[in-house]
Amino acid sequence: MAELVFFSGTMDCGKSTLALQMDHNHAARGREGLIFSRNDRAGSDRISSRLGLEALAHEVHDQTDLWAEVMSARSQGRPVDYVVCDEAQFYSTEHVEQLARLVDELEIDVFAFGITADFRTRLFPGSARLIELADRVEVLQVQSLCWCGARATHNARTVDGLMVVEGEQVVVGDTDSGAVVGYEVLCRRHHMRRMTEVTARARTTGEDSLL
Ligand SMILES: Nc1ncnc2c1ncn2[C@@H]1O[C@H](COP(=O)(O)OP(=O)(O)O)[C@@H](O)[C@H]1O
Ligand SMILES: Cc1cn([C@H]2C[C@H](O)[C@@H](COP(=O)(O)O)O2)c(=O)[nH]c1=O
């Protein structure tokens, strides 16, 4: 029986790596898949992992109809046994409903990967709909860690290392890019206290005045 599975976790916990591994393993057994992504950090039409793996993907746009994409591939003689969807937090609720329909009406396995919540701890629309509709939600086994060593459960947006709580929900970025605006994964305790690595270091070195 086909399934809609949502593999979820914080940023930097290995979701894109797993997406590429799942595609590889299914393809190695002769199954045919389609790969989709949206707003990957490395650019359009691809899935990239921090381990260096990268693959071509169909870019999802607001107007993309995932049901129609699969029907179109099939009408061109290309079987589709499974679909991999990365950065699924950025998909719309309609996209997720199209994915559920692929599972239920065409018996296609759908493996979706994404973060659940934004920098304000609010669910992304795509992730919320996936949690509502998925047959299974899987939390990745590899844990990303807060600077304190505890399991990271939340994503913080940072400007010059300091956590911010205002801004657009979608700002494509990385956890370790050196860019002014970036992201840091934190445990809930430190997310609630807005305590990033930079903030914590300043506190221990008595440089609180910098904060
Ligand atoms: N140099 C490295 N050596 C070993 N593992 C690494 C290295 N760089 C990144 N990783 C692994 O890759 C993970 C991030 O993978 P990625 O698929 O890009 O994450 P996500 O898609 O969840 O943001 C990290 O949690 C870490 O386990
Ligand atoms: C928390 C948060 C993240 N994003 C963006 C930043 C990245 O481009 C992706 C997550 O990618 P990853 O492969 O899981 O690291 O999401 C955002 O736009 N808004 C946010 O609040």
Domain ranges in the chain are 4-139, 154-210
Q: Per-residue confidence at 211, pLDDT binned at 50, 70, 90?
A: low
**Alpha carbon distance 202, 3 (integer Å):** 48
Which of 54, 59, 69, 87 does the annotation list as catalytic?
87
Q: What average pLDDT does the chain have?
A: 96
**Alpha carbon distance 105, 8 (integer Å):** 24
41 Cα nearest atom in ligand 2: 8
165 CB neighbour count, 10 Å cutoff = 10
**Exposure of 106 by Cβ count < 10 A (0-12 exposed, 13-18 middle, 19+ buried)?**
middle
Does the active-site annotation cover 54?
Answer: no
DSSP 2: -
Q: Per-residue confidence at 150, pLDDT binned at 50, 70, 90?
A: very high
The answer to whether the annotation marks 171 as part of a ligand binding site is yes
Q: Is the overall model pTM greater than 0.90, yes or no? A: yes
Instruction: Specify the pairing of strand 162-164 against strand 154-159.
Output: antiparallel
The pLDDT value recorded for residue 165 is 97
CATH class of the domain defined by 4-139? alpha beta
pLDDT in tens, 101-110: 999 999 999 9
